[in-house]
């Protein structure tokens, strides 16, 4: 087992039902269903194109409760796209961390443990999709940036997690990353 320390640079919530874009908050309380009020909250969610082996809409376990990106990977995506920055909010991230520059490669089953006792379990890579690309294209007024994001974010888009232990996660706090 290997353990790493990283820093929580920001915490965010997607509480506007009209968009997946998140907004920064000082801290979040996580429950077994995720972040109360967040668009991804819930123990169950309907199957979609990612679970092609179930009929669309079938209720399945929600393994996409929390989205996490690394500041370093966001900077690499921006560099690949020739942009000054890619903000975690544009990607619908709930957490942005620094000090662990290859977050997207974190294996399924890795734990993220926070000082208050909250624990998240990595469910794997959050594959790039056109949604954040459309947000970035809209911000910059360039429709070509949408597909460019999907290419630029390969293996850099971050991870999705589910809540293993309830607790609080605070911006500018620390996180211990445990790889089995």
Strand 167-170, strand 111-113: pairing: unpaired
**Does the pLDDT value for residue 151 go beyond 90?**
yes
C-alpha to C-alpha distance for 106 and 100, rounded to whole angstroms: 10
**Does the pLDDT value for residue 52 go beyond 90?**
no
pTM of the model: 0.95
Boundaries of every domain in the chain: 2-179
3-state SS track over the chain: CEEEEEEEEEEEECCCCCCCCCEEECEEEEECCECCCCCCCCCEEECCHHHCCCCCCCEEECCCCEEEEEHHHHHHHHHHHCCCCCCHHHHCCCEEEECCCCHHHCCCCCEEECCCCCEEEEEEECCCCHHHHHHHHHHHCCCCHHHHHHHHCCCCCCEEEEEEECEEEECCCEEEEEEC
Tens of pLDDT, residues 83-93: 999 999 999 99
Tens of pLDDT, residues 3-49: 999 999 999 999 999 999 999 999 999 999 999 999 999 999 998 88
C-alpha to C-alpha distance for 66 and 119, rounded to whole angstroms: 11
Token pair of 171 as six digits: 């911006």
> In this structure, which CATH number among 2.60.40.10, 3.10.20.30, 2.40.33.20, 2.40.30.10 belongs to the domain 2-179?
2.40.33.20
Tens of pLDDT, residues 119-135: 999 999 999 999 999 99
């Amino acid at each position: 087992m290997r353990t790493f320390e990283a820093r929580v640079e920001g915490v965010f919530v997607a509480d506007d039902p009209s968009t997946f874009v998140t907004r920064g908050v000082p801290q979040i309380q996580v429950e077994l269903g995720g972040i109360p009020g967040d668009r991804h909250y819930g123990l169950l969610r309907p199957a979609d194109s990612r679970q092609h082996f179930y009929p669309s809409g079938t209720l399945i376990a929600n393994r996409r409760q929390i989205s996490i990106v690394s500041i370093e990977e966001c900077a690499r995506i921006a560099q690949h796209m020739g942009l000054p920055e890619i903000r975690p909010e544009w990607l619908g991230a709930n957490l942005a961390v620094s000090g662990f520059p290859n977050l997207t490669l974190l294996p399924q089953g890795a734990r993220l443990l926070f000082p208050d006792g909250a624990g998240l379990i990595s469910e794997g890579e959050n594959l790039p999709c056109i949604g954040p690309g459309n947000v970035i294209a809209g911000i910059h007024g360039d429709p070509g940036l949408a597909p460019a994001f999907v290419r630029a974010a390969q293996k850099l888009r971050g991870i999705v997690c589910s809540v293993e232990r309830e607790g609080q996660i605070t911006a500018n706090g620390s996180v211990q990353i445990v790889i089995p």
